[in-house]
Amino acid sequence: MTKPQDVPGEGPEEAGAIPEAGAIGRIIDRVGVVFAAGIVASMAILINEVVLRYLFNAPTIWAHETTIFLCGVAFIYGGLYCTARDRHIRVVLIYDALPFSARRALDVVISLICMASSAMFAYAAWLMVQRAAFRPDGSFRLERSGSAWDPVYPGLLKVFLLAVLAVMAVQFLVLAVNYARGGVAGRGRR
């Protein structure tokens, strides 16, 4: 049976953001605990809702939308978090067979393609934010859910998605630059 320290990329020395992610990656990694706490908070809110609804026949109007919002921001942030830790899903059949210099070149190319994709998705998110956060007269007003409670969660999610995609594009640029400078490739993390 293998122990976590025997599996490449799973030992305690490799916990956290990869070195090529730079300072931005370390910040992204540290902030991840906030969104993990949001998942735990959503669980507590749902337990509270079950108790209130079925034991006291007094359901809330805010529990479901709040848990959806908390889980949504955690999932959105998860993409950025995986980028900083180099933990996203990929097929490595060809990559692992290549020599170090070819892997490093592929890391640069892949990071640049991902940066361009993230930037394009950020632009698409900006188009959504324009409709979700601004009235036709230009004044700021976040889109609301339309439920009985009517929170601004839909608008906040769209603004958060824009921010995360913009930071993700910058993170991929940092990765590309650091890989081009000779960052460590082929450490078994891919």
Phi, psi of 134 (to 5 degrees): -130, 135
Burial label, 136 (beta-carbon count in 10 A; 0-12, 13-18, 19+): exposed
Q: Distance between CA 134 and CA 143 in Å, rounded?
A: 8
For residue 188, is pLDDT > 50? Answer: no
Dig out the tokens for 187 from the structure. Answer: 């450490």
Q: How far apart are CA 103 and CA 126, in angstroms?
A: 34
Q: Calculate mean pLDDT across residues 155-180.
A: 98
pLDDT tens readout for residues 58-113: 999 999 999 999 999 999 999 999 999 999 877 788 889 999 999 999 999 999 99
Q: What is the pLDDT of residue 76?
A: 98
Residues paired with 134 in a beta bridge: 140
